Amino acid sequence: MTRFFRKNSGNSRRCSQGVAPIGRWYAVLLCFLPVLALTLLIGVAAEAAAPDNYRINVGDELEFDILDDEDPPQLFTVGRDGMVQLPFIGGMPVEAISVGDARELIRRTYIEREIFVGPAIELSIASFRPIFVLGDVRDPGNFDFQPFLTAEQAVGLAGGAAIAVNNEEARVLERRNLEGTLSSLEYDLALLAAQYARVQARLKDEDTVSWSNVPPDVRPGVNRELFDEHKINEDQIITLERSDTVGRRKLIADAMTEAEQRISLLDQREGVLAEVLEVTRAELAWTRDLVARELVPKAEINQRVLAVARAEDVLLELKEQRSAARVQLAGLRGQMSQFDAEWEKTLVSESQRYWSNIQKLISTRQSLQDRLSLLQQWMSAARGLESSLLIEFQVRRREGEGVKNLILQPYDELVPGDLLVVVVKPPEALREPG
């Protein structure tokens, strides 16, 4: 059984109602002119965004629409196998064929499988797989692909080459910018070194920042004068931190002392009550002896028994209070131990963070110094050379199951998913030997 979808033409009928026979077709034409104009504009925009001769790649997102039904367009992504999954027909191989050919292939498939009769199919590129620009560029990363995007334009998306090779004024400005960045980096590196030394001083329970706490392999790269400037503030931080730490430890220590004193008092009271209980028990025994000899009434025994019970109850209560005080003291000692451990852990964590940042700054400085050195070589040796030859465009392009390495010219076009590696060559690489 075949399926066929037709657009509702009620709008055209309603538009022509009430019009004289002579002008009816003219009125219908007027009704469809805005729709026709909009269709033409959409077609022009789609062609500008992705022409029919654009070859589909893995990762491209396709916008697919069956114009004979009222369902909205749907988006489908080309899988790694080069297939796109479409309604009613499943997987269709579209990789490496043009948009126009893919549209016609899909249309024929629907007809051959007797799913639609003469369907109107629309297929376009909704979004492309991004490209990646790495290497000697200012802002490496991934960027949205655009049709007809050349290697040179892609470098522009990444902020341009790391060093301007075709403009003397730009090279001068770049050198000043690099020198300024290096100067700021020197300041930051000295600050990090002073902060690292402060943490090391705290771990050693020292009261001041010392140059000796800076690792020996780092000292040659740290400006000692800037370090001494930062040392003043870091010493103040040590004083404030020590005051805060001492104050917090004192609160816990005072609570511990109070708990110890309470335990001592309870011990003394327990000793006194133990003596009282011993005397009371002795009196009970003496009273029983007197009652046995009928020297005192039996009621005396009840009073002595009650006195012994009260003494035992008070003694038991004191023991419970002493036990609770000891538990409190153990908890305070645990707080003190935990405070010291967390404080040391915090210092070790800060030390590792500062050390990591120092290593990053040293690496960044080396990179900036290399760029500045290369720039200075250009400024002294690149005059008269063909500047466009100083940049090499290397592309890694996935084709089928493998990756192909290519060398492109600046005006060569990229394809979605390309990895563009920009290599800036030193000027002496272009000079002929001898």
- Rounded average pLDDT per 10-residue block, the chain, 434 residues: 37 34 35 37 41 82 84 87 88 88 90 86 86 88 87 88 64 80 91 93 90 91 92 92 90 92 89 88 86 82 87 89 90 90 90 92 88 74 53 83 85 88 71 49
Q: What is the pLDDT of residue 80?
A: 81
Q: What is the pLDDT of residue 359?
A: 92
Q: What is the pLDDT of residue 31?
A: 36
Dihedral angle computed from the Cα positions of residues 75, 81, 83 and 84, in that order, rounded to the nearest 10 degrees: -20
List C-alpha distances in Å: 82 to 216, 303, 367, 419: 57, 103, 41, 19
Q: Which two tokens stand for residue 269?
A: 């009271």
Q: What is the pLDDT of residue 167?
A: 58
**What distance in Å separates the CA atoms of residue 136 and residue 290, rounded to the nearest whole number?**
112
Q: What is the pLDDT of residue 37?
A: 36
Q: Which two tokens stand for residue 289?
A: 């002896």
Q: What is the pLDDT of residue 214?
A: 92
**What distance in Å separates the CA atoms of residue 224 and residue 215, rounded to the nearest whole number?**
13
**What distance in Å separates the CA atoms of residue 183 and residue 189, rounded to the nearest whole number?**
10
* pTM of the predicted structure, to 2 decimals: 0.46
Residue 399 · residue 80 · CB < 8 Å? no
- Which of helix, strand or coil describes residue 269? helix
Q: Which two tokens stand for residue 171?
A: 């090279």
Q: Exposed (0-12), middle (13-18) or buried (19+): which is 21, by Cβ within 10 Å? A: exposed
